[in-house]
Amino acid sequence: MENVDKKNVGLPSRYINALYELCDETKKLKKVTQDFEKFISLSKENNDFSVLLNSPTIGKLNQGKCLNDILKKSKADKLTTNFCGVMCRNGRVSLITKVMKEFLNEVSRRRGEIVVEVFSPYKLDNKEEEDLKKTILSKINGKNISLLTHIDSTLLGGLIVKYGSKMIDTSIKTKLKNLELAMKGAN
């Protein structure tokens, strides 16, 4: 079995390696990947969910019960539910989204894909996602890409696209901030 990329060392790599092996053995990689993408989106879009994951005042038992209920309602795979349960029991709830992101990056790396994160003020429809993929593919010399979309209503309009060490920000929010800075500088 191939090991996790060398930059993913330490605690998260143990979870990533173990989970990847289980997904590979049980042929559930696609479903677990989808579950993780939903989970990450929920943690970014829902402030209460983010508080649940990061609050030290909520006990492990309560966090575990809440996560289990949420995963059950979202029809997550048993492997995903068990993974989150292990993270809860080991007191690693605050690391769940980080480990999930690293897992998704590792899956993409093994597939030869580049992970592209897109932040938009609204949910992109399928045509918009496909057009965006085509545009990005033309800029990165035709490699495979994995698109992770996030909703950020504070952007007002436009997009933020991140891949590798690059970030393209065409959001109205940033344009307004730049205009504000330019106007302050003119005074």
Token pair, residue 1, equals 């079995």
Q: Where are the beta strands (DSSP E) in 13-97?
A: none
In the chain, ranges of CATH 1.10.520.20 domains: 11-108
**What are 160's strand-pairing partners?**
119, 169
Average pLDDT, stretch 122-141?
Answer: 87
- pLDDT of the residue at 83: 92
Q: Which residues make Cβ contacts (< 8 Å) with residue 22, sequence separation at least 6?
A: 28, 79
The pLDDT tens digits of the residues spanning 55-76 come to 888 888 888 888 889 999 999 9
Task: Render 163-181 in DSSP notation, one character per residue.
Answer: ETTEEEE--HHHHHHHHHH
Token pair, residue 138, equals 């033309």
Interval 74-101: pLDDT, tens: 999 999 999 998 888 888 888 888 899 8
Q: How far is it, in rounded angstroms, from Cα 181 to Cα 176?
A: 9
Structure tokens at 123: 């949910």
Query: CA angle 177-125-168, nearest 5°?
Result: 35
Q: According to the CATH classification, is domain 11-108 in 1.10.8.60?
A: no
Comparing 29 with 41, the larger pLDDT belongs to 29
Is the per-residue pLDDT at 174 higher than 60? yes
Q: Where are the beta strands (DSSP E) in the chain?
A: 113-120, 144-151, 160-163, 166-169
Q: What pLDDT does 5 receive?
A: 44
Give the model's pLDDT for residue 35.
Answer: 95
Both tokens of 36, joined, read 């993780």
Average pLDDT estimate for 18-42: 92
pTM, rounded to two decimals? 0.65
Query: Are the CB atoms for 75 and 44 separated by under 8 Å?
Result: no
How far apart are alpha carbons 64 and 28 in whole angstroms?
22
